[in-house]
Amino acid sequence: MSSSAISTKLPVGAIDTRATGWWAMIFVVFTEGSLFAYLLFSYYYLAVQPHLPGTFPQGGTPSLTLALPDTIILLLSSVAVAWAQFHIERNDKRYLVWGLGIAAILGMIFVVIQYFEWSGKPFTLASSPYSSLYFTVTGFHMAHVVVGVCMLWALFAWSAMGYFNRIRYAHIHIGALYWHFVDAVWLFVFFTFYITPLLGLK
């Protein structure tokens, strides 16, 4: 058999959802999502055990004053990332960079607001099972946000350096998946800690 080209051309390299990294990130999302599932399981498990009124949640139902705006900020940052991706798909690198930068800044604002919320709590990590859960679960989420913010800044820098175009932007695609995941997980955490007490789980 002599050399001959096959008739179909195949794309080369890391191209959007055909990039190996994207498939890997899907499973990272599954495993980290499982981690949060087990964290929230621990919350619900401890919540249904017999306890004195007012101890779970400790200090009464957690206030939404900071948490609700914080949630909206995180959602907006996901919108910013989606907006950035929308633009790179049309080869608009300027708005890609802007979108990533805005998302990163919103992410940092989320962290700062949550830090203030933490300092304002009437309990510490070691006060009770509830407080242990509160800081551990939101702390795990915070850690994922911090990693995500670092990632967004890296994407921002790489975009600014002109690495990506409308065909080759797998890193953006993969990073966006991670960031949307962090956002979605927050909705579950938020619902568990802030909404279920209002629905009667206390």
Partner 1 sequence: MSIAEYERAPVVAPADQQGLAARLLRIWKTEPGIGGWIATTDHKEIGLRYIVTAFAFLIAGGVEALIFRLQLAGPNLHLLTPEQYDQLFTTHGMTMIFLYAGPILSGFSNYLWPLILGARDMALPRLNALSYWIYLCAGIFLYAAFACGFGPNDGWFNYVPYAARAYNGGPNIDFYALGIILLGMSTTVGSINFVVTFLRLRAPGMSLNRIPILAWGTVTASAANIFAIPAVSLAFFLLWMDRNAGTHFFDVPAGGQPLLWQHLFWMFGHPWVYAIVLPAMGMVSDGLPVFCRRPLVGYTAVALGTVATMVLGFGVWVHHMFATGLPNVSLSFFSAASIIIAVPSAVAVFAWIATIWTGRPVFTTAFLFFASFIVLFTIGGVSGFMTGSLPVDWQLTDTYFVVAHIHYVLIGINVFPVAGAIYFWFPKFTGRLLDERLGRWNFWTMFVGFNLGFFPMHISGLLGMPRRVYTYADGMGWDWLNLITTFGSFVFAVGVLLLIINVVSSLRRGAIAGPNPWDAPTLEWSVSSPPPPYNFAVIPTVGSRHPLWEGRVPPQEGDSKSHVEGGMALDHGRETVGTTPLDAEPRIILKMPTDSYAPVLLSLALTAFFAGLGLHIWWLAIVGIVGAGLDILGWLWPEASLGETAEPANV
- For the bound state, the minimum distance from the C-beta of residue 32 to partner 1, rounded and expressed in Å, comes to 8
Contact 172, 155 (CB under 8 A): yes
**Nearest distance in Å: CB 124, partner 1:** 9
If the CB atoms of residues 71 and 159 are measured against partner 1, the closer one turns out to be: 159
Residue type, 148: G
User: What whole-number distance in Å separates Cα of residue 116 and Cα of residue 179?
Assistant: 22
Residue type, 95: Y
The nearest distance, CB 65 to partner 1, in angstroms, is: 26
Residue 158 CB, shortest distance to partner 1, in Å, is 6
CA atoms within 13 A on the CB side of 190: 19
Residues making contact with partner 1 (CB under 8 A):
1-15, 18-20, 23-24, 27-28, 30-32, 34-35, 37-39, 41-42, 45-46, 49, 51, 55-56, 91, 125-126, 128-129, 132-133, 136, 150, 154, 158, 162-168, 170-171
- State the amino acid at position 134 in one-letter form: Y
Q: How distant, in Å, are the alpha carbons of 9, 11, 55 from that of 5?
A: 9, 15, 72
Nearer to partner 1, 71 or 93 (CB): 93
Closer residue to partner 1 in complex, CB, 74/137: 137
Closest-CA residue to 166 (of 82, 91, 84, 83): 91
Closer residue to partner 1, CB minimum distance, 14 or 108: 14
Q: How far is the CB of 184 from partner 1 (least distance, A)?
A: 16
Q: Could you tell me if 52 and 202 are in contact, meaning their C-beta atoms sit under 8 angstroms apart?
A: no
20 or 63: whose CB is closer to partner 1? 20
